[in-house]
C-alpha cells in the first residue's frame, strides 16, 4: 500500500523567542551585501578601526 502523506504530523507550538526577534533585527540591518562585507572586514582585521572604509568597498 502506498502512503500518500509527505511527512508525519507534528505536535507542539512555536512560541515567541526574544533571541529570534533580535536575530531578525540584525538580519534586517545587514540586508545589503556591502554591509555584510563591512562587518566581515572589521572582524578579520581584529583591531580597533577608525577611518575611511569607503575606499575599500566595491561601490561607485
Mind listing the pLDDT tens digit for each residue in 7-45? 677 778 878 888 999 999 999 988 988 888 888 888 888
By the 10 Å C-beta count (0-12 exposed, 13-18 middle, 19+ buried), 37 is classed as: middle
Total domain count for the chain? 1
Does residue 20 fall inside a structural domain?
A: no
Q: What is the grid cell recorded at 5?
A: 502523506
Does residue 11 fall inside a structural domain?
A: no
Q: Domain range for residue 43?
A: 32-60
Q: Within 10 A of 45 (CB to CB), how many other CB atoms are there?
A: 9
pTM score over 0.85: no
Residue 29 DSSP SS3: helix
Amino acid at each position: 500500500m502506498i502512503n500518500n502523506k509527505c511527512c508525519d504530523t507534528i505536535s507542539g507550538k512555536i512560541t515567541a523567542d526574544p533571541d529570534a526577534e533580535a536575530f531578525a533585527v540584525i538580519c534586517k540591518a545587514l540586508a545589503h551585501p556591502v554591509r555584510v562585507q563591512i562587518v566581515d572586514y572589521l572582524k578579520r582585521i581584529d583591531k580597533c578601526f577608525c577611518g575611511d572604509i569607503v575606499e575599500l568597498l566595491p561601490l561607485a
